[in-house]
Structure 1
Amino acid sequence: MTGALAVFDVDGTLIDSRARIGRAMSFAYRKAGLPDPGFERTRTVVGLALREAFIALEPDASPALISELEAGYVEAFLALQDDASSAETPYDGAFECLEALAGAGWRLAIATGKTRRGLDRLFAAHDIRGLFDACVCADDGPGKPHPFMIEESLRAAGARAARAVMIGDAVHDMRMAAAAGVRAMGVSWGFARPEEMLEAGAHEVHDGFDSLRASLARFARESAR
């Protein structure tokens, strides 16, 4: 048993949700009479709680407009559930990585900007809930980059910050890790660019799950000393 804790982001880290997020965002903006924000703007807020994401994108918008954007996004996101072209699919090697870590004695947690309902839909589609000691989402408390999600994961898993790692694809994940005092590992296949994550505090950025697993194994050995 390693006794170490790996906290995973979901969107852009374990699950490829780029198409659905992009289409839902486009719909929300069109419905509100605003121009499509496009991928470059959208990617900067993925990982934040939904309302916080729209506030970040539209800091001068009224609360009513923010609520309208939220409602439009949720409407589109739910409508796209059965659209194969917008399916939320696991990245190659993602679930195998989780299973290997669990088998090696790692404690696992999720820290996501998804709602509890969204997270439950993910678990209904993919039988992975039993792998996690903690699942913390946007409904549970302050969102990223506040350290709450990691702190709650540490508490639920009975782990120490010195033996914990945050794995994510966004600058918000890296900043949350820094705020919580845990190691930050970025992955390059999601929304943020490697240089953005490194600037935000990532200790390293990985291009594949094999590299990530090898680094986690080293961390487990070294942090146990």
Structure 2
Amino acid sequence: MRDTPLRLAVFDCDGTLVDSQHSIVASMHAAFAHHGFDLPSAETVRRVVGLPLDVAIRRLAPDVDEAFSLEVSETYKASFFQLRQAGGVVEPLFDGIEAVLDSLDKAGWLMGVATGKSQRGLVATLNQHNLLRRFVTHQTADIAQGKPHPDMMFKAMTETGVLALHTVMIGDTTFDIEMAKNAGVQSIGVAWGYHERTELLDAGATCVVSTADELTEAVLAMAQD
């Protein structure tokens, strides 16, 4: 019998685990150019990272209807795949992330990912860093409802058997924090991603950390609550 409850840390991917902004912006620009749209600024693209792709596209191009946003989404996916095949996808891990995963694993935490990526995209990213097996649950926008809907969190907790009381979401956008709030779990914001510290706190983050060491300390402290 376990003396302590199972605990689950769910990480966002883009902007939290890896810095994928350049590849995302390049693929979005390629998709918009293909369809004859004006190119959104890089900053505007970063603001929608984490949302379901079709929703993100409608925010970038408000005049596009839902059906056409799905068509543009497919163009984006094809552009991203071509970029990856050509070796042009750059998604480095943020500093200290592997050490965070090592520390949580050593402390007995289960770990998962909840991302706006597709399963194919997430697997490719994690495999690039030999991290796929570090995460016991992989929640993506093509198998669950996208952020900020709580579906990904509910599925992650169901798959692992961990209660909301012992689950934390870690992310860099308000979409991550809102998803956690909607699922009834705590959340930690990271300041190295795509939304500002004040936005994350206003969205309901328990705290916002600036370094990987601070992230480890914040997660482990939750086990003492």
Given the two structures, how large is their TM-score scaled by the length of structure 2? 0.92
State the distance in 1 between where 2:183 and 2:67 align. Answer: 33
Give the one of 130, 138, 161 matched to 1:158: 161
Matched length: 222
1:175-217 Cα shifts (integer Å, max 9, x gaps): 0010011111100111111111111111211111100101111
Instruction: Return 5+ residue gaps in structure 2 as ranges.
Output: none
Q: What's the C-alpha RMSD, in Å, of the aligned pairs?
A: 1.6
Give the one of 47, 61, 70 matched to 1:58: 61
Aligned to 2:37: 34
Shift of the alpha carbon at 1:86?
4.0
Aligned to 1:23: 26
Are positions 1:79 and 2:56 aligned together? no
Shift of the alpha carbon at 1:106?
0.4
Aligned to 1:13: 16
Q: Residue type matched to 2:194 in 1?
A: F
1:92-142 Cα shifts (integer Å, max 9, x gaps): 111221122111100111101110111121233222222222111111121
State the distance in 2 between where 1:67 and 1:135 align. Answer: 23
SS at match of 1:15: coil
Are positions 1:148 and 2:151 aligned together? yes
Instruction: Return 5+ residue gaps in structure 1 as ranges.
Output: none
Q: Residue type matched to 1:10 in 2?
A: C
Shift of the alpha carbon at 1:83?
5.5
Q: Residue type matched to 2:113 in 1?
A: I
Q: Residue type matched to 1:11 in 2?
A: D
Moved more, 167-176 or 66-75: 66-75
Shift of the alpha carbon at 1:52?
1.9
Shift of the alpha carbon at 1:84?
5.8
Residues 139 and 64 of structure 1: is their aligned pair in 2 closer, same or farther, counting only changes over 3 Å? closer
Q: Are the equivalent residues in 1 in contact too, given 2:58–2:65 (CA < 8 A)?
A: no
State the distance in 1 between where 2:206 and 2:123 align. Answer: 31
Percent of matched pairs sharing the same residue: 37
State the distance in 2 between where 1:79 and 1:213 align. Answer: 36
Given the two structures, how large is their TM-score scaled by the length of structure 1? 0.92
SS at match of 1:186: strand
1:149-190 Cα shifts (integer Å, max 9, x gaps): 111111111111111110000110010010011111100111
Q: Are the equivalent residues in 1 in contact too, given 2:169–2:177 (CA < 8 A)?
A: yes
Are positions 1:96 and 2:103 aligned together? no
Moved more, 55-64 or 86-95: 55-64
